[in-house]
Structure 1
């Protein structure tokens, strides 16, 4: 990134967490529909039906899928229970698909910040439902202040449910030790760089050093024979993983966010690499949009164009119309 792009990314990550701006967007009859249009490049829609419709089309094209009802940091018990019911319904609706789906979620969406016991019981119920339908759960990673609580809960869950996986953020300095911890357990590991703004004493910034850290952690997971999802849009990392002959190993897949680098997804699929696309839906899309734009600030121009020319969204690059 250029210095200007880094500054833009920093601003986007800051406003993503500004509740005043989020509320202003949510209640504005002008801003809400405009920004929702921009978000639809990365979010399948606001309803489960929107997500399932796109999922069915992508599955027919040969992609594997992860799906998430967006939400996090929920402090209202009613909303937590509503989220649980939505995830149960999503798990049931995934029976319309023919390959195993990764049901992804933030633990803070299911009650982690209210009652850890409640969150644990919610995930246990989801794990059982998913097991019966042939799907699996993938716990997402959140800000570093929650990392220990998330890893600890995963350790408890994975001892009881083999279809529960965990996400590791390579940028955190602690992640080398965290990978060693989770490699003792049976679930899938999803490796990401990390999207959250963190202080330098806790995490690496985007850099060559971070790429090297990501490859080191990927090497640990792949060589351990663990089922792993290498989630990255970074061409340099993808090329290095390919050069190490990791992408055709039976325990490895590449995971990409819906709407981000669809041309890479297509190219990898054409080469016979298993590609999983991460589909999101729901009304809590504001933070998600900010993070996608922060990862590649030039996409701000694309977002503005999308707002005023919705025809641009009819085909996000997967051959869909």
Structure 2
């Protein structure tokens, strides 16, 4: 039943008609519980509160699959303005972004030009930018763009998804670039030809990737709500004497809040991934697919005043 529910919500995540309806009706269908707002200004007070509590943040302006050069430049400018706002309000926040929102599907030249503008601004304010990973068809291009930019910009990270068969080789290949990697399980619907389909296999691979990147000596973000993954990481770093300032735990805004604060009390760095924007529909559906309990957020949003 859980597999059916996951496939159903992943299918809905790609429905463009429902996406347009979602923008019309706003985030009140439960998405406001896991999205910081429809504008960055709405997210600022939430980020300030999280920072006050000791939590760090990374923000992501939701949106993907841009089809015009003009729209990609608009998205890059919005990202630059977000970086400027983070600096102005002295927020403890990084920035995450998707390359498809910056023109990846249009041309490499456009996405590189947009990324250069963003990273130059981020460098001026010493703010780290992480390139989110999207589906498997864009993984190779994302890795290549990351490598090209990492040779020039220091504060740059990317994401590796444990459910892809290629991820072990990607982590090995990126070793030479001293990568800052966010390691996740993965949230897109993929074929068994390119991805592990069974949860135990994905979990085992995520553990392998965490161990590999940490023992390679690179800063690692363990982005998981899974207690078993968290426990594994704690035991691994203790066994190998890895300092707590060499890794962090990352969790989604609005989910497992108590666990976030418990880890914080134990002295670990915890970063909250906070998306914002009116293009929230695909993100929301993928979160429902990941964890059936999240459906309660939607039901509460629909029926609450």
Sort the TM-score into its range (normalised by shorter chain): over 0.9
Specify which of 250, 254, 257 is matched with residue 252 of structure 2.
Answer: 257
Instruction: Give the match for residue 318 of structure 1.
Output: none
Give distance in 2, aligned partners of 1:227 and 1:131. Answer: 18
The one-character-per-residue Cα deviations of 1:106-150 (angstroms, maximum 9, x if unpaired) are: 011011111211111111121111111111110000010001110
- Stretches of structure 2 that go unaligned for 5 or more consecutive residues are none
Pick closer, same or farther for the CA change 1:55–1:26 going to 2, 3 Å.
closer
In the superposition, the TM-score normalised over structure 2's length comes to: 0.94
Specify which of 3, 7, 11 is matched with residue 6 of structure 1.
Answer: 3
| CA drift at 1:84 | 0.9
Q: Secondary structure at the match of 1:104?
A: strand
2:13 aligned with 1:16, yes or no?
yes
2:210 aligned with 1:213, yes or no?
no
Specify which of 30, 34, 38 is matched with residue 38 of structure 1.
Answer: 30
Of the two structures, which has the highest relative contact order with CA contacts closer than 8 Å and spacing of 6 or more? 2
Give distance in 2, aligned partners of 1:301 and 1:136. Answer: 33
| CA drift at 1:98 | 4.2
Contact 2:6 2:289 in 1 (8 A): yes
- Stretches of structure 1 that go unaligned for 5 or more consecutive residues are 311-321
Instruction: Give the match for residue 164 of structure 1.
Output: 156
Instruction: Give the match for residue 319 of structure 1.
Output: none
| CA drift at 1:249 | 2.9
| CA drift at 1:77 | 2.1
Pick closer, same or farther for the CA change 1:111–1:180 going to 2, 3 Å.
same
Contact 1:100 1:136 in 2 (8 A): no
Give distance in 2, aligned partners of 1:84 and 1:17. Answer: 23
RMSD: 1.6
Segment drifting more, 123-132 vs 42-51: 123-132
Instruction: Give the match for residue 76 of structure 1.
Output: 68
Instruction: Give the match for residue 305 of structure 1.
Output: 300
In the superposition, the TM-score normalised over structure 1's length comes to: 0.90
Instruction: Give the match for residue 80 of structure 2.
Output: 88
